[in-house]
């Protein structure tokens, strides 16, 4: 099963959108050339078993596969989070605890080095989180 091009774009949008969507609504949101093009790609996804048509002629995701940028996201119900967000928040909390709870009376070289290393890791995690958030669907 290979998803590419416009089909992949539609699939990614539907996974991240998280709600049932009709052909015309999909056509407008993704600025496709015609509703029939949206219908064609939705039928393709339906044949692959990735989407299904509801009674009210809307399409919903029936199976989530990690393709392309979707592998960098975690879906919890209708909410979608970048995978790096959890690491960023966790290590930010750990950095704050280390900064205030384990602060020595006198600054030592090892404490300063560990702060620099921790801060560097935080910057990298937050950079990656925002980079994934800003990627085009």
* pLDDT per residue rounded down to tens, the chain (137 residues): 577 888 888 888 888 787 889 999 999 989 999 889 999 999 999 998 889 998 898 998 888 777 766 777 777 776 778 888 999 999 999 999 999 998 888 989 999 999 999 999 999 999 999 988 776 55
pLDDT value at residue 136: 57
Q: Is the domain of 90 the same as that of 117? A: yes
pLDDT value at residue 94: 93
**Same domain, residue pair 77 and 127:** yes
Task: State in Å, rounded, how far the first CA of the chain is from the last one.
Answer: 20
Residues 78 and 54 in one domain: no
What pLDDT sits at residue 1? 58
* CATH number of the CATH domain containing 11: 1.10.10.10
| Number of structural domains found in the chain | 2
pLDDT number for residue 109? 93
3-state per-residue secondary structure call for 6-64: HHHHHHHHHHHHCCCECHHHHHHHCCCCCHHHHHHHHHHHHHCCCEEECCCCCEEECCC
Task: Give residue 137's pLDDT.
Answer: 54
Residue 65 per-residue DSSP state: -
Q: Does residue 51 sit in the same domain as residue 14?
A: yes
pLDDT at 69: 67
pLDDT for 82 equals 84
Same structural domain, 57 and 81: no
Query: Tokens standing for 110?
Result: 């090892």
* Domain housing 22: 5-61
Do 78 and 42 lie in a common domain? no
């Amino acid at each position: 099963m290979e998803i590419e091009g416009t089909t992949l774009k539609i699939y990614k949008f539907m996974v991240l959108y998280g709600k049932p969507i009709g052909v015309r609504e999909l056509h407008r949101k993704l600025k496709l050339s015609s509703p029939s093009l949206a219908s064609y790609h939705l039928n393709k996804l339906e044949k692959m078993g990735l989407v299904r048509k509801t009674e009210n002629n809307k399409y919903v995701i029936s199976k989530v596969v990690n393709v392309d940028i979707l592998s960098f996201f975690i879906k919890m119900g209708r909410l979608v989070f970048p995978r790096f967000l959890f690491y960023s928040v966790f290590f930010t909390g750990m950095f704050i605890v280390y900064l205030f709870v384990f602060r020595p009376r006198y600054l030592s070289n090892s404490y300063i080095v560990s702060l620099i290393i921790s801060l560097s890791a935080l910057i990298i995690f937050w950079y990656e989180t925002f980079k994934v958030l800003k990627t085009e669907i």
